[in-house]
Structure 1
Amino acid sequence: MSQDELLVLIYKKDERAFTHLYDMYSKSLFSVINVLIKNREEAEDVLQEVFVKIWKNIDTYNEGKGRFYTWILNIARNTSIDKLRSKNFNNSQKNLSSDNFVNLLDDSNKLVNRIDTIGIQEFVKKLKPKCIEIIDLLFFKGYTQQEASEELALPLGTIKTHNRNCINDLRNYLKI
Structure 2
Amino acid sequence: MTQFETVYQMYYQGLHRAAQQMLSNKEEAGDVVQEVFVSLYNRMQSHSAEINNVKSWLYRAVMNKCIDAGRSQKNIQSLEGVSVVAEDINIDDNNYQTKILQAALQSLNEKERMMVVLYSQGLSYKEIAETAEVNFTSVGKTLSRSLKKLETLLKHQKHELLG
Structure having greater relative contact order (Cα 8 Å, sep ≥ 6): 2
Q: TM-score, normalised by structure 1?
A: 0.46
Q: TM-score, normalised by structure 2?
A: 0.49
